[in-house]
Amino acid sequence: MRNKVIFQDLGEIDFKDAWEYQEKLFDEIVSVKGKNRDLPPGEQIKIKNHLLFCEHPHVYTLGKNGSENNLLIDQMQLKAKDASFYKINRGGDITYHGPGQIVGYPIFDIELFGVRIKQYINKLEESIIMTLDEFNLKGERLKNGTGVWLDTGIPGNARKICAIGVRASRFVTMHGFAFNVNTNLEYFKYINPCGFIDKGVTSLEKEVGAKIDINKVKMIVRKKMGEVFNFTAY
């Protein structure tokens, strides 16, 4: 049976506002799971899974295990770039979010999808790999490098097109992926993306040589995620 997922496109939204909204949905699911433990199967409360898409104003976020040394500019320079900075509670190191980038936040009870966290991340990657295939691009995984990459087998040419960093507790997820579509890649120059100093960053626009309709890409990503995770979004 296919799971159902509540889909929302939040448009451009401040990172902190989106983070707080995620936390609210996350806490609701965790609370329901806690209550269901004490209820017989016929009386259990239905869990609502959510998928949020959005774009953020310029912002750098640092995962809980990341190093601030990977942010290469100070507070004054951040202000000059009209960018903000947050330390957050996901895995991974530092990344950038900005206009022209699809940020996806699945707030899923992954037990309902029959996967563990490693499989969940693999399925997020697979959704983006399948999306890239629609544009005749071969997305790949990189050993010891979460996310989706291009040309991993060519020395010095590996470049990331989608970053992934998640938080999971009691098999409930939040945070997610950042897929560069028409992203201003200049902003990646001010960090060591995901902690790497020897890997590049790219975008769909750069790879195909033309600006892309981001709403079209959102539709494809949503469709591919539905296929990979076996859900219906509404």
**Active-site amino acid positions:** 194
d(CA 5, CA 231): 7
User: Which amino acid is located at 69 in the chain?
Assistant: N
Residues 6+ apart with CB under 8 A from 95: 60, 61, 163, 165, 178, 191, 193, 194
**Tokens 């296919």 correspond to what residue?**
2
- Burial of 117: CB neighbours in 10 Å, binned 0-12, 13-18, 19+: middle
d(CA 71, CA 59): 11
d(CA 71, CA 73): 6
CA nearest to 106, candidates 116, 88, 121: 121
d(CA 19, CA 107): 11
Helix or strand (DSSP H, E) at 119: helix 117-133
d(CA 55, CA 58): 9
